[in-house]
Amino acid sequence: MWRGSQFKETKLIILVDVGNSRIKLCELNNEDINAPFNSTTADADAALRIISVSKPSQVLVSAVSDEQFCERLQQLCKSEQIIFRRLGTASCNTNIQIGYQRPEQLGVDRWMAVIGAQELFPNKNLLVVDAGTATTFDLLSADNRHLGGWITPGINMMISALYRNTTQVRGAITTPDSLSFADNTSDNVNHGCWSMTVGAIQFAKIQAQQLGVAVDLIVLTGGNGEALLPHITSDAYYEEKLIFIGMAKCIDLNR
């Protein structure tokens, strides 16, 4: 459960991750990052209220969506004399060599996830998968080279696109335990779309191998990351706070 931090005296930093579906907040207190508070992007007011009540010294933002929320947040920080910092992919000092031709084009959330993964598992070949609104794949080599990645529709986006664009394909959106071949429409869709993502993860490993970067570990995050874990047959780790770990690292690196 989220607790405001009005009683703490240490310098509190609030980390904010603005995705295409949800806004998430974490408190960074010294080294500790607490469990994220999630709100739908529709409930931006709740996120702003928390920041107002918590009275942090600084707010650090990683945003790939909702410019209107970011502007409101910046205004709030200005009026409450809170330092406001917005991270950019190209502006965080790190020893990771970025794999994009134009670094600023890579979503800052992906870059924070890569930095977070390196922090957790240094000197390993990592496949970082963020299964959110979109599912992103980023390859990080043990010698700190980001080797690019993929963007696919997120699992829920695939499922809802199928329902929206067909007449007879109707059903629910579920988080299946099994991805077996199914005997009804709804399970066909859900098992199929989850399998698309599991299959892409397996094929990403083959791609990495062909680059000479055999994946040591798959690092999962995002709203569907934990539910993907049991379907992955190779070494995999789920970290809800991956983006926040990356953001906290950026603070360290830029002190």
Ligand X SMILES: Nc1ncnc2c1ncn2[C@@H]1O[C@H](COP(=O)(O)OP(=O)(O)O)[C@@H](O)[C@H]1O
Ligand Y SMILES: CC(C)(COP(=O)(O)O)[C@@H](O)C(=O)NCCC(=O)O
CB of 145 to ligand X, least distance (A): 25
**Catalytic pick from 109, 138, 216, 235?**
109
CB of 164 to ligand X, least distance (A): 15
How many residues touch ligand Y (CB under 6 A)?
Answer: 16
The Cα–Cα gap between 221 and 219 comes to 7
8 Å CB contact between 220 and 131: yes
Place of tokens 């094929």: 203
Buried/exposed 98-113: b ≥16 CB within 10 Å, e otherwise: bbbeeeeebbbbbbbb
Task: Name which of residues 183 to 242 contact ligand X (CB under 6 A).
Answer: 222-224
Q: Site for ligand X (CB under 6 A): which residue of 132, 136, 197, 208? A: 132
Q: Site for ligand Y (CB under 6 A): which residue of 47, 48, 94, 110? A: 110
109 is catalytic: yes
Task: Name which of residues 44 to 103 contact ligand Y (CB under 6 A).
Answer: 64-65
24 is in an annotated binding site: yes
Name the 3-class secondary structure at 10. coil
Sort residue 77 into left (φ over 0), alpha (ψ -120 to 50) or beta. Answer: alpha
In this chain, which stretch among 50-58, 126-134, 177-185, 229-237 interacts with ligand Y, using CB under 6 A? Answer: 126-134
* Residue 132 near K ion by CB under 5 A: yes
The Cα–Cα gap between 115 and 140 comes to 9
Beta-bridge mates of residue 59: 14, 84
Task: Name which of residues 138 to 177 contact ligand X (CB under 6 A).
Answer: 154, 156
* DSSP alpha helix (H) spans, the chain: 44-54, 67-79, 108-120, 155-164, 185-210, 225-228, 242-253
174 is in an annotated binding site: no
Q: What are the distances in angstroms from CA 150 to CA 75, 172, 184, 203?
A: 35, 27, 31, 11
Per-residue contact flags (x/-) with K ion for residues 134 to 153, judged by CB under 5 A: x-x-----------------
Name the 3-class secondary structure at 64. coil
Task: Name which of residues 144 to 173 contact ligand Y (CB under 6 A).
Answer: 151, 154
Q: Site for K ion (CB under 5 A): which residue of 17, 130, 187, 240? A: 130
Spatial neighbors of 216 by CB under 8 A, at least 6 apart, are 121, 124, 125, 126, 142, 235
Residue placing its CB nearer to K ion in the complex, 132 or 246: 132
* Residue 225 near K ion by CB under 5 A: no
Residues in the chain: 255
Residue placing its CB nearer to ligand X in the complex, 223 or 246: 223
- Which residues sit at the interface with ligand X, rule CB under 6 A? 19-22, 132-133, 154, 156, 222-224
Residues that constitute the known binding site: 17-24, 100, 107-110, 130, 133, 185
- Which residues sit at the interface with ligand Y, rule CB under 6 A? 19-20, 64-65, 105-107, 109-110, 130, 132-134, 136, 151, 154
Residues that constitute the known binding site for K(+): 130
What residues act catalytically? 109
